[in-house]
Structure 1
Amino acid sequence: MNQTSSQVVRDQLARSGQSLPLHRVLIVDDHPLFAQGLAGLLTQSALAGAVEVSESVEQAVAALSGPCTIDLVLLDVSLQGETGLMLLPRMNAHKPPVVVISSSEDETTVRAAQAAGARGFLPKSAGRTALIRMVRSVSRGGEYYPGRRSLPTQIQVLTPRQKDVLALLAQGFPNKRISQSLNLTEHTVKTHLKAIFMHLGVHNRTECVSQARQMGWL
């Protein structure tokens, strides 16, 4: 973006009463080219004064614990084999808003993002206009989930039977043991597990138990 177009963005933001640019934004993404490109777009579009990049949840936790205040976190959902959403429970009480950025745009990913406490969702296929709208919305204290009705602010409550299945899963029970303990067929157990996985936005048993503990379900 050239200087003229950047000034146009600044003028538009000033007229809208926005407190932009944000002082500092943290991008949590393990793809350097994407992270560097997004950082450049944020600064060139007058959306952020400074941008930091972390490649893992651990690095992000360290950045958030540092002396510099972070005003917004842009978080990828998949980081070096770990779930990026694990960052949210590790943030302190004065955590900045988090917007999930992902190449996956399916409803399960979006639901998991909002259930974990993210203030918005931005697909990596989005352009500059969507990025500006997102930052404007979140900086006002709002959310950004374009094209979707507002999802519940909390993960949908499991049915009593699903809670039983989850509890046994957390104890390391295989499906056969769970079915025997609850007097269910293995097919029914698999159906319950599929529903639980969908609610939590996970793909396997280990992620399920870990995320459920982080969310206070176990």
Structure 2
Amino acid sequence: MVDIIITETHPVLQRGLQQILTEVDPSWVPIPRSTHDLRHPQAYAGADMILFSLPIEQDALARDVAIAASIPRPNILFLSPDPIMVTPMLPAASNVRGCVDSGASVEVLVASIRLVRVGGRCFPAVQQPVPPGLTSRLVKPLDPPGQQQNADMELLGITARQYEVLVALARGHSIQAVGELLNISISTAKSHAYALYRRLGVNSKSEAVYEASRRGASFDWDAPTVVAAPDVFHHVSRSTATDTPSSNVAQDDDFEFDTAPPDLVRWWPTGK
């Protein structure tokens, strides 16, 4: 059995979370706890995960984030009405592995829980507009893969380019940022992602990360060297892309494909 602590205090929402967890996987056992209870280690001893609901009031939010950051184990997934505001509040050594919008769909929540349980992360990717031409001075290309990367590619049965896309997605980058990071057009980045999804038998970027983690991939890829601030990646400029971009590409941060197997859960995570 998998014990999942939930801290939602609203009775209706708490009951809804309990019902969702038990219906998705009968082995998931929801255990209601208050945030005050979590000040004491015995309240979460033996639990497999904490689904930590956050308030919107600033004082209460700061208090609850501090409580969560003090918990050494198990992994924690935040539910917040404003994930982008919460993420910068976490200390570097925090055991919080993700933050999901409390208004997200059931599919998003379930996939995020599965991802966090296996050690993945699902924080929102903050994006801001960047002047055209600046991106080439911000990010340098990735180095060729080494021994561990080749092992991961062989394990997953994917190409080097698909592995680059997978690692970028695992680090929370949107598909636009992936195109910019790899110096390819958005349409080409989507094509590589589509091929990656088909190879892994999944239908979304978080499912791809989860499936790769489940198979034992390390995602041990050297991060790009950031030469100047900011520390986030942005939409690629069509004038700087090396591939010919499509004029019909929509600027969606995450995407899924209509041709994927119908039995797979379809969702797209927070992360705009």
TM-score (ref. length: structure 2): 0.40
TM-score (ref. length: structure 1): 0.49
Higher relative contact order (CA 8 A, sep 6+): 2
Looking at secondary structure, tell me which structure has more helix per residue: 1
